Structure formats: structure tokens, C-alpha cells
Amino acid sequence: MTLLIRGGTVVTHEESYRADVLCGDGRILAIGENLELPAGAEVLEAGDLLVMPGGIDPHTHMELPFMGTVASEDFYSGTAAGLAGGTTSIIDFVIPNPRQSLLEAFQQWRGWAEKSAADYGFHVAVTWWSEQVSEEMGVLVREHGINSFKHFMAYKNAIMAADDTLVASFERCLELGAMPTVHAENGELVDHLQRKLLAQGITGPEAHPLSRPAQVEGEAASRAISIAGTLGVPLYLVHVSTEDAVEQIRLARRNGQPVYGEVLPGHLLLDDGVYQSADWQFAAGHVMSPPFRPAHHQRALWQGLQSGDLQTTATDHCCFCAEQKAAGRNDFSKIPNGTAGIEDRMAVLWDAGVNSGKLSMHEFVAITSTNTAKLFNLYPRKGAVRVGADADLVLWDPQGSRTISASTHHQNVDFNIFEGRQVLGVPRHTISQGRLVCCDGDLRAVRGAGRYLPRPAWPSAYQALQRRAEQQQPLPVAR
Ligand code: URP
Ligand code: ZN
Ligand code: ZN
């Protein structure tokens, strides 16, 4: 199938110019002015639209088994909702149970993801440690295209990785040339505070942020950064939500340590007032970890994006419906943690970031697509508008508007943290593998059309880092 996108303005992370874009065989075949229309090609008039790389969401949890239930969004419905919102690739998480083989879990997730409507890759979580885990990490890197491993520093007695696991796994990542990533919250402290609050009879969602204050994240971020800095391995922190963690990242980067951070639109825009609602369902609908924070943290997160200390935006798309959230009706620590967002990430960030003047449209492309592609070795196949790249594009309408609502979204969940928010700037058309998969609101997602994205590791680059770590004093640790 050949598609000619005619007359739009191409916008990348570094430049913008008027051009036609010809797509065929799933790739971008040509970019230029007044391209000839090949016989049989379909034409899409772009007019005043911006032609940008499709979004890449580096943090989703489709159909995740978690906290006694399974996330309501599956790989098909979730990637389809992503396409409706201009996101054409995701990186989801394989999360083995403690003592489960990583390879077995990987195959399980690969099976579930076959129904995806958009391309997908995986980070693999290290939830326990043994010689077998170490060996299987090697097999995943060498044979299955995994180049990042996730460590949950929270969720004690479930998937939490304690310090011994972090040290062993980070060292193994260094050997393999793979990126360690962390959910930075001190799980011991969270567990302690949860018990204390429950003992005091504070059982509602208002206790959720009290059990996970900002310093719980700051401490874990500092510890993970110290471990990575001592070993000489890069580090990526998912869903950074506090000034405390941004500061740790900033100091580490200023000291030359390769540390990267991701932020969610929810943490940029919502505050912890949502947990005070008298409507239990509303408050529980916002329960995710880390929680929404006192508003002053938002300033640090925006500044982190502006300065480049935070490089990516994600959603942590992990959906639970009202009846699932109700499992924690009498005990906030049992409310399944997670919120949706894959459909809204790009529009919310354009509206709050570009329209407000906080971000340029080039920075928008960088933080919604290109930086993720670069950090996780998908670039320039993804995250680029250039000849040879995958034809994954979003045609953006800066003048289009939409009011976000659970009653109209495509996400398979009955709640939306951005309910009622009006956004100016919307995806008008989405193209995946050269196919028009969402055309002016008409979602044409195809079950199973998504492909697995193998992501090569960087063994030689990391060998240099390892030599530096061995030969020099460890990099100074930021405090
Ligand atoms: O609350 C969240 N974020 N749920 C998904 C699991 C995680 O921590 O990323
Ligand atoms: Zn997390
Ligand atoms: Zn997550």
C-alpha cells in the first residue's frame, strides 16, 4: 500500500519544513516538495497539519496481572487507544513472578501481545535474583532483543527488588550492555507507613499519598543513582514525580553520570487534592504509585523537561475499572494501583506544554517520541521522519480541540484522570506502518497488525563505561 501525505509541515525534534511524505511497504520512501503521485497511491491532504513521528510510550502495562486482578486494557484495546491518540509504539513490561523464569514470562507476554494493533517492545523486570536469572538476562539480550531491565524498589512481598538484587542486576546489565531502569520508591518505608496508617484507622484513599511521601521517592532515587554511579552503569528512572528525585537526577547528570528520567502527564498536571474527595470511587480512581503530589512538585517536573534532565514522557498506562478498585474499599493498600492515559498523553502535553509556551514543538516531538527511540535503541527506525524509517506518523492539528472523557475515550476503562479537560491540539490522523489507522476520529485499528520490536543492546559502549568504573574512582555521587 502506498500513501502520499501531501502539503503538510514536517516537524521533527530538530527542524520543521513543508514537504510531502511518501509511504510504502511500511516505510517512508521519499520526503520532498511536490512529490509525484505513484499509480494507485492513496492521497492524504495534510494542509495546515503538522507531520510528526508517531508517539512512543515507553511505559505501559497492558493486561498486567497485578494486586490480585488483571489490568482491564489488553494489548489490542490499549494499542488501539494509543493509535487514536497518536501513539504508534509502546514498550510494555514483562514482569515475572518471583522465582519464575524470565524466559518463560517473556514468552507469556509475547503471546498476549500478539493481538497488538501497534508495534511493541518489552522491558523485562528483575523481581528476584539467582544464577538462572543472570543467565536468562543474557539470553534475553542476545537472542530476544531486550536491552532494558526494570527494578521495582517498591511493592514489598510481591515484586520488590531489594538492594542485593539491584546491585547484582545492575552489574549484569553493565556486562550485557543493557539499561537498568527503576521504579524509585523505598518499599520498606511504604510498607511501614501503610501498616501505621491502617493501625490508626485511616483506611481510605486519602492514606495513599501519606504512605508514599516525596522523600520515599527521593531516597530511592538517590540510592539507585548511587548504586549505578558506583558500578558505572547508566540508569533510567521511570515515572519521576517529585522535586526530590529531579534534584537527584540533576546533580548526578551535572557530575557526568548518565542518568535519565521519565515523567507522566498526570504528575505534571494533577495534585494530591484528588485523594481528599468525598467520592471514594473518584479518589480511588486516582490511586497509582507514585501518587499525585502537592502542586509545587509540578514546577520541578516541567523544569526537568525544559532543561533536559528529564527526557521522556510516558503514561504508565495500567487500567483498573471501578469494580476492580473496589477491592480496596476497606483498606487503601489493596486498591489496585494504576491509571490510564495512552490515548491522552500527546494531546495533554501539547496543550499544557506547547500552548503554554513551556515547550517548543520540537521539544514536544523529542519528549513524546524521539528521545525514547534513542534511549532504548529504536532510533531512527522509530522517532524520526526520514527516508527508510518506519512510516509511523501522526498528523497533528494544532487548532483542533477535544474534551477528554471516559464516556468518549477508546481506553477500556471507566475512568479518566483528565475527565472534562479541554485540549487544544489533537491528532487528526495516525499512520502506522504506512497505513491510515485513525482518520479524523475513525479508528481503523487492526488486531494483530502490531509487530514485536527487538532492541539491540550496547555491549561495546558499556564496556567503555565498565573500564572507566574499574580504572577510576567511582563517579562522585550527588547529594
Ligand atoms: O500505580 C502504578 N504505577 N501501577 C503500575 C505498576 C507500576 O508501579 O508501574
Ligand atoms: Zn512503577
Ligand atoms: Zn508502571
Best residue for ligand 1 mutational test, from 92, 160, 318 (most atoms within 8 Å of Cβ): 318
Best residue for ligand 1 mutational test, from 240, 267, 289 (most atoms within 8 Å of Cβ): 289
Q: Note the pLDDT tens digit of each residue in 436-461.
A: 999 999 999 999 999 999 999 997 78
- Whether the CB of 316 sits within 6 Å of ligand 1: yes
8 A C-beta contact, residue 187 and residue 260:
no
User: How far does residue 152's CA lie from ligand 1's centre (Å)?
Assistant: 9
> What Å distances lie between residue 187 and 192, 293, 299, 356, CA to CA?
8, 18, 26, 36
Q: What is the CATH number of the domain that holds 316?
A: 3.20.20.140
- Whether the CB of 150 sits within 6 Å of ligand 1: no
- Whether the CB of 298 sits within 6 Å of ligand 1: no
| pLDDT given for residue 471 in this prediction | 74
Following DSSP, what letter does each residue of 185-233 receive, concatenated? --HHHHHHHHHHHHHTT--STTHHHHTS-HHHHHHHHHHHHHHHHHHT-
Q: Note the pLDDT tens digit of each residue in 132-190.
A: 999 999 999 999 999 999 999 999 999 999 999 999 999 999 999 999 999 999 999 99
Q: Note the pLDDT tens digit of each residue in 409-418.
A: 999 999 999 9
Q: Note the pLDDT tens digit of each residue in 222-235.
A: 999 999 999 999 99
Assign 297 a pLDDT band (cuts: 50, 70, 90). Answer: very high
* pLDDT value at 478 more than 50: no
Residue span of the structural domain in which 24 resides: 1-479
Count of domains observed in the chain: 1
Q: What percent of the chain has pLDDT over 70?
A: 98
